[in-house]
Structure 1
């Protein structure tokens, strides 16, 4: 079994100190929690498959399915996945819709119609637009790619329920409007991704 290579999201004192200075409530939580590590997948294709698997299911379920996929299907690259049947992908525990989406993207890459490496040349907004044009991928999946693979520094996803829940817990809110969310997001900028890493942790505590 070829295991997908992972690493921790790269950040340090500069980002931590900035966020502590601009938001004392978040800063207090960060001090209590210490450095929170976020495991990411540098390989764009593997990360995209992982993000698709993760749509609308729990983090624990993703772990189980992801391990099963690597065991049953082998290498998580477009060359290998493009040769699988949609049934084989689906049998790892995902919906037929997700399986078809994964197979379609792998085949599109192998046909030379999509080059994920080009994403590195695009802005965050352009990456979201480009990935959202693929069938079965929306803004949330694209934003997860920006953080969990490309290590873009300033991503806070409104579409991520856990991030919204983390904000509500952190600031003792009963509800969260899009306007409030945007205000917090602006405060965190340009290190929104590090704020997201802490908000995820807060939401699961």
Structure 2
């Protein structure tokens, strides 16, 4: 049974140290927490399906569904999922809507009508533009692929509730506006993805 291969998001001590200088509050957290190991999926198709599974549900629920999919289908590939029915996919614990999206995307990619591998050579903005043309893929899903597959270094997603919650906890805010979010996002640049890894952690820690 071929479980989807994973690896750790690669970032250096120098990058951590530089990020600390960009934002003292985040820097204090990085010093206190130390290195965080962020598991990612290098395979573009598997990472895309994983991101779709994770839309609008908890991390725990997403991992339960993902485990079921790997057990049921063995290989998470465009060709293999295109051979399944939407009902087969939905049976793993997804909504029918998501199952239909996953089936349609799998078929589109299996038939060669969308060339996923070309994304590796494109800048972030173009990756998002191309991916969001697929029905069922929005900005957040595309941004998760940038971090959790392509290891792009400067992504902080406004659409990610946990990222926003992490920012609010870090800076002692009751709410956060898009303008405040943008200010912090620009402050972390060009290492926003590493900041995101810490903000996720802060969000889930009491």
Please give the range of the TM-score, normalised by the shorter of the 2 chains. over 0.9
Matched, 1:73 2:77: no
Unaligned 5+ segments in structure 2 are none
CA shift digits 1:32-68 (9 cap, x unpaired) = 1110111000000000000000000000011111010
The structural deviation recorded for 1:14 is: 1.7
Q: State the match for 2:139 in structure 1.
A: 139
- Partners of 1:199 and 1:168 lie apart in 2 by 9
Q: 1:189: how far off? A: 0.4
Q: 1:130 is matched with which residue? A: 130
Match of 1:38 in 2: 38
* 1:148-191 CA distance string (max 9 Å, x none): 00000000000000000000000000110111110101110000
RMSD: 0.6
Given the alignment of the two structures, is residue 184 of structure 1 paired with residue 184 of structure 2, yes or no?
Answer: yes
Match of 1:196 in 2: 196
Runs of 4+ residues deviating >4 angstroms? none
Match of 2:12 in 1: 12
**1:78-93 pair list within 5 angstroms:** 78-93=78-93
CA distance in 2, matches of 1:17, 1:156: 18
1:76-135 per-position Cα deviation (integer Å, ceiling 9, x unaligned): 011111100110000000001111111111110111101100101211111111111100
Q: Name the counterpart of 1:121.
A: 121
Three-state SS of the structure 2 residue aligned to 1:3 is coil
Please list every run of 5 or more consecutive structure 1 residues that lacks an aligned counterpart in the other structure: none
- Hey, what's the Cα distance between the residues in 2 that align with 1:111 and 1:64? 29
| Alignment-derived partner of residue 162 in structure 1 | 162
TM-score by length of 2: 0.98
Distance in 2 (alpha carbons) for counterparts of 1:16 and 1:110: 39
Please give the TM-score of this superposition, normalised by the length of structure 1: 0.99
3-state secondary structure, aligned to 2:145: helix
